[in-house]
Amino acid sequence: MKFDDEVRKQLDAVVGDEFHPPRQWKATILKWLGAAILAVAAAAIIAAILHNNLTNAEKAAEKAPKRPVTITIVPAR
């Protein structure tokens, strides 16, 4: 423990109490841009799938035979 305290004191004397490495703005911007592109792509894929399924359901409903539906009414007790 004494050695760790000694090393810490020496590092604090050279570096200071806190060390914050310089930010790499190019990498940060590219990460955010990539995330935004992936989010838009995921939203577009979801919208395309929903549109395709809705269109298929509407076409199937048009092709279905038109026949009356029997409804049974049960009186309440």
Per-position DSSP letters for 18-69, written without gaps between them: ---PPP-HHHHHHHHHHHHHHHHHHHHHHHHHHHHHHHHHHHHHHHS-----
Q: What is the DSSP letter of 10?
A: H
CA angle 15, 18, 19 (to 5 degrees): 65
pLDDT in tens, 2-31: 778 888 788 878 877 666 677 889 989 999
For residue 19, the model assigns a pLDDT of 66
Listed by start position, the domains of the chain span 25-63
pTM for this predicted structure: 0.56
For residue 50, the model assigns a pLDDT of 98
pLDDT in tens, 37-77: 999 999 999 999 999 999 999 999 888 888 888 899 999 87
